[in-house]
């Protein structure tokens, strides 16, 4: 019998039953809940008179709508306030643990799961949020679902699923100095396209992945969905286990030892077969900057904006023309000539302590350009606390960055942190869709290091050669 991939091992160990056509009832170990995609799910439970099957397998936190300014002032937007109140009420009614807005543990759902030790290897994790793929960094099968499925998991602790195909994304070699996991994943999406991973679960392998920190692996897995894959994963190793050990919700003592033993088996067997394999060489990855309105529209910072007139594919040409018009860019202009108005460092992609340390390292002793407004939004209250203990907030403030409270903030601009029409932003977030950061706003996706350099210079620079 052929060996199993990491995905196969997790999937097979979570099958409750299968239909003749292969449709599977899959057991879900953990669910994360936030305020935007859950109210209708709880309403559904109430209408049907159902209770959550395992409330203790669920953790809730408001993140999308929360203000990143002084929390004591409450939420000015009454509709946002009602949605957050509804989450609090629902959690109370249904016995679900909630970190509310004033809790130091509050933060972006995909930051707090790992931070609390809620995210564990070998588990199935879901959330009504497409960036649930983040948790795959721990060797979990983690994917985003819709609100109906949120209700389904609350009621049954299961989901009806079709077995996806597997894709190995192998990245070998050493990244250039100052390039990061963000550059790897943007380069991958540039290569496979935004639908390249549709129908697949990606396993990231290779020497360039193994050397990544847990934070780097989270950045990588986070954006799997931007390549169309519902889930991305990295096999757990010593780093994974060291990261989990001692976290509040992680197993302790004898249970931890037992769990560790099981986690060490979670790797793809040497004779296992993937349905597809894509390979990249890390040395060839330049710092990435997205130029268009889809994460696949991305290039190295040393390149020029593409010219649709040279494209033979009708689909690509039309999409490029449309994107350039929206982005206000001309064909063939150097990426480094693009000037920016805003910088956003944050989001479930790049708001963890390592991201902030790295960004602060580049910001130290520098000054944000007069033409630029820059903000740093930590991923959680605990990340913020840690950063302040290390003096990172001071570094950012002295350089002219705003230092905010934790939340999703300008990644999707559901709170007050919004781009104005026509404003151009260097953002460490994950989506550059039209209007994502505010109607008419223009987003360029970059790494934290590239965002800091752009804030200081007022335009994109090649971080590899920045002094």
Partner 1 sequence: MEPFTTLTGLVAPLDRVNVDTDQVIPKQFLKTIKRTGLREGLFFDWRKRKDGSPDPLFFLNQPRYQGATILLTRDNFGCGSSREHAPWALLDQGFQCLIAPSFADIFYNNCFQNGILPVVLRTEEVLQLMKDVIDNEGYRLTVDLYQQTVTTPKGTTYRFEIDPFRKDCLYRGLDAISLTLQHEPAIAAYESRGKAETPWLFSDIHP
Residue list 156-215, contact with partner 1 (CB under 8 A): 156-158, 160, 162, 164, 194-195, 198-199
- Give the binding range for partner 1 (CB under 8 A) out of 79-87, 175-183, 214-222, 378-386: 79-87
- Give the binding range for partner 1 (CB under 8 A) out of 114-122, 166-174, 265-273, 445-453: 114-122
* Residue 148 near partner 1 by CB under 8 A: yes
Residues 314-343 that bind partner 1 (CB under 8 A): 315, 318-319, 322
* Residue 308 near partner 1 by CB under 8 A: no
Least spacing, CB of residue 379 vs partner 1, in Å = 18
How many residues in total does the chain contain?
A: 467
Q: How far is CA 214 from the centre of its chain?
A: 13
Contacts of 71 (CB under 8 A, 6+ apart): 101, 102, 405
- Give the binding range for partner 1 (CB under 8 A) out of 56-64, 176-184, 269-277, 379-387: 56-64
Q: Rg of the chain over CA atoms, in angstroms?
A: 21
CB-nearer residue toward partner 1: 5 or 80: 80
Least spacing, CB of residue 417 vs partner 1, in Å = 12
CA 83/CA 176 separation, integer angstroms: 44
Least spacing, CB of residue 302 vs partner 1, in Å = 26
CA 45/CA 43 separation, integer angstroms: 5
CA 434/CA 262 separation, integer angstroms: 44
* Residue 2 near partner 1 by CB under 8 A: no
CB-nearer residue toward partner 1: 180 or 320: 320
CB-nearer residue toward partner 1: 83 or 350: 83
Figure out which of the listed residues 6, 7, 10, 29 binds partner 1, where binding follows CB under 8 A.
Answer: 29
Least spacing, CB of residue 112 vs partner 1, in Å = 10
**CA distances in angstroms from 346 to 68, 382, 406, listed in the order given:** 11, 14, 9
- Give the binding range for partner 1 (CB under 8 A) out of 22-30, 271-279, 283-291, 347-355: 22-30
CB-nearer residue toward partner 1: 258 or 277: 258
* Residue 350 near partner 1 by CB under 8 A: no
Per-residue contact string for residues 86-105; x = within reach of partner 1 by CB under 8 A = x----------x-x-----x
**Pairing outcome for strands 165-172 and 200-205:** parallel
Backbone angles phi, psi at 51, to 5 degrees: -115, 155
Helix (H) or strand (E) holding 143: strand 141-144
Figure out which of the listed residues 5, 68, 106, 116 binds partner 1, where binding follows CB under 8 A.
Answer: 116
Q: Binders of partner 1: how many residues, by CB under 8 A?
A: 85
CA 387/CA 394 separation, integer angstroms: 9
Q: How far is CA 216 from the centre of its chain?
A: 11
Residues 432-451 that bind partner 1 (CB under 8 A): 433-436, 439
**What is the CB-side half-sphere exposure of residue 134 using CA atoms within 13 A?**
30
Residues 351-410 that bind partner 1 (CB under 8 A): none
DSSP string across 294-358 = STT-EEETTSB---GGG---HHHHHHHHHHHHHHT--TT-BGGG-B-SEEEE-TTTS-SHHHHHH
Contacts of 131 (CB under 8 A, 6+ apart): 110, 144, 222, 223, 225, 348, 349, 430
- Give the binding range for partner 1 (CB under 8 A) out of 134-142, 207-215, 245-253, 384-392: 245-253
CA 194/CA 253 separation, integer angstroms: 43
Least spacing, CB of residue 308 vs partner 1, in Å = 14
Backbone angles phi, psi at 261, to 5 degrees: -60, -45
* Of residues 383, 416, 459, 443, the one with CA closest to residue 67: 416
Residues 416-435 that bind partner 1 (CB under 8 A): 431, 433-435
Least spacing, CB of residue 261 vs partner 1, in Å = 11
- Give the binding range for partner 1 (CB under 8 A) out of 25-33, 212-220, 359-367, 384-392: 25-33
Read off the DSSP letter of residue 212: S
Figure out which of the listed residues 1, 73, 79, 389 binds partner 1, where binding follows CB under 8 A.
Answer: 79
Contacts of 102 (CB under 8 A, 6+ apart): 71
Per-residue contact string for residues 118-147; x = within reach of partner 1 by CB under 8 A = x-x-xx----xxx------------xxxxx
Least spacing, CB of residue 158 vs partner 1, in Å = 6
- Give the binding range for partner 1 (CB under 8 A) out of 226-234, 304-312, 340-348, 366-374: 226-234
Least spacing, CB of residue 262 vs partner 1, in Å = 7
Please say whether the beta carbons of 400 and 367 come within 8 A. Answer: yes
CB-nearer residue toward partner 1: 179 or 259: 259
* Of residues 62, 61, 33, the one with CA closest to residue 45: 33
């Amino acid at each position: 019998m052929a060996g199993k991939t990491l995905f196969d091992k997790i999937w097979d160990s979570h099958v409750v039953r299968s239909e003749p056509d292969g449709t599977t009832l899959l057991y879900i170990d953990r669910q994360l809940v936030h305020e935007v995609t859950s109210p209708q799910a709880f309403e559904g439970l109430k209408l049907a008179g159902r209770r959550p099957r395992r409330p203790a397998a669920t953790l809730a936190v408001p993140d999308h709508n929360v203000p990143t300014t002084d929390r004591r002032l409450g939420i000015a937007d009454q509709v946002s306030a009602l949605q957050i109140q509804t989450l609090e009420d629902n959690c109370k009614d249904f016995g679900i643990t909630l970190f509310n807005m004033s809790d130091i543990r509050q933060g972006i759902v995909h930051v707090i799961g790992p931070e609390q030790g809620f995210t564990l290897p070998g588990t199935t994790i879901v959330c009504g949020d497409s960036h649930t793929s983040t948790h795959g960094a721990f060797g979990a099968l983690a994917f985003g679902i819709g609100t109906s499925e949120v209700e389904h998991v609350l009621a049954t602790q299961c989901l009806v699923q079709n077995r996806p195909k597997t894709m190995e994304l192998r990245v070998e070699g050493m990244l250039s100095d100052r390039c990061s996991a963000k550059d790897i994943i943007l380069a991958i999406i540039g290569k496979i396209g935004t639908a390249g991973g549709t129908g697949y679960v990606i396993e990231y392998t290779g020497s360039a992945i193994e050397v990544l920190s847990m934070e780097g692996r989270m950045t990588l897995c986070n954006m799997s969905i931007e390549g169309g894959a519902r889930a991305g994963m990295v096999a757990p190793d010593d780093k994974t286990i060291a990261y989990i050990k001692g976290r509040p919700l992680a197993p302790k003592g004898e249970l931890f030892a037992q769990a560790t033993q099981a986690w060490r088996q979670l790797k793809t067997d040497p004779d296992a077969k993937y349905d597809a394999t894509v390979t990249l060489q890390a040395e060839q990855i330049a710092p990435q900057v997205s130029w268009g309105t889809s994460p696949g529209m991305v290039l190295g910072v040393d390149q020029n904006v593409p010219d649709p007139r040279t494209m033979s594919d009708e689909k690509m040409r039309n999409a490029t023309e449309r994107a350039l018009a929206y982005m206000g860019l001309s064909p063939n202009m150097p990426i480094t000539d693009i000037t920016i108005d805003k910088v956003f460092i944050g989001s479930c992609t790049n708001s963890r302590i390592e991201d902030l340390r790295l960004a602060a390292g580049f910001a130290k002793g520098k000054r944000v350009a007069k033409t630029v407004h820059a903000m740093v939004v930590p991923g959680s209250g605990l990340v913020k606390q840690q950063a302040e203990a290390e003096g990172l907030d001071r570094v950012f403030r002295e350089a002219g960055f705003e230092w905010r409270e934790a939340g999703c903030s300008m990644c999707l601009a559901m709170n007050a942190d919004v781009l104005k029409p026509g404003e151009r932003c260097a953002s460490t977030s994950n989506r550059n869709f039209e209007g994502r950061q505010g109607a008419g706003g223009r987003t360029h996706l970059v790494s934290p290091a590239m965002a800091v350099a752009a804030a200081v210079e007022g335009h994109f620079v090649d971080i590899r050669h920045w002094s």
